[in-house]
């Protein structure tokens, strides 16, 4: 999934119209529409604002991971940080390999 698809999915999951969501986030309807259709990409500040609003990581919004939460490594807090990251990367590899997610 790309950024626009992720953004639209998160908006629809909360039953928000584009107009209502744009107003809540201080965006124009047209800007939000262009983000969702892939005609435009947000600047870093807007990306951060969207991630905070939906309580997901920027990597999730950008389609770099299927893990929504940015604090997923907390599950592996008993391990040194590099090991926790390797475990998370391996889980993502297995998820993609066996569940067909790109």
Domain boundaries, the chain: 1-67, 71-102
CATH top class, domain 1-67: mainly alpha
Question: Tell me: the pLDDT tens digits for 1-15?
Answer: 799 999 999 999 999
Residue given tokens 């500040």 in the structure block: 45
- Cα three-residue angle 100-76-1, rounded to 5 degrees: 30
- Provide the greatest CA pair distance for the chain: 46
Q: HSE-up of 1 (CA within 13 Å, CB side)?
A: 18
Q: Are 76 and 87 in contact (CB under 8 A)?
A: yes
Q: pTM above the 0.75 mark?
A: no
Q: How confident is the model at residue 42 (pLDDT cuts 50, 70, 90)?
A: very high
3-state secondary structure of 93: helix
């Amino acid at each position: 999934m790309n950024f626009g698809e992720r953004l639209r999915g998160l908006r629809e999951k909360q039953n928000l119209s584009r107009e209502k969501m744009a107003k809540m986030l201080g965006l124009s309807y047209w800007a939000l529409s262009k983000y969702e259709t892939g005609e435009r990409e947000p600047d870093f500040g807007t990306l951060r604002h969207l991630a905070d609003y939906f309580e997901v990581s920027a990597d999730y919004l950008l389609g770099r991971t299927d893990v929504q939460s940015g604090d997923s490594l907390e599950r592996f807090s008993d391990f040194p940080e590099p090991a926790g990251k390797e475990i998370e990367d391996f889980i993502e590899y297995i998820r993609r390999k066996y569940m067909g997610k790109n």
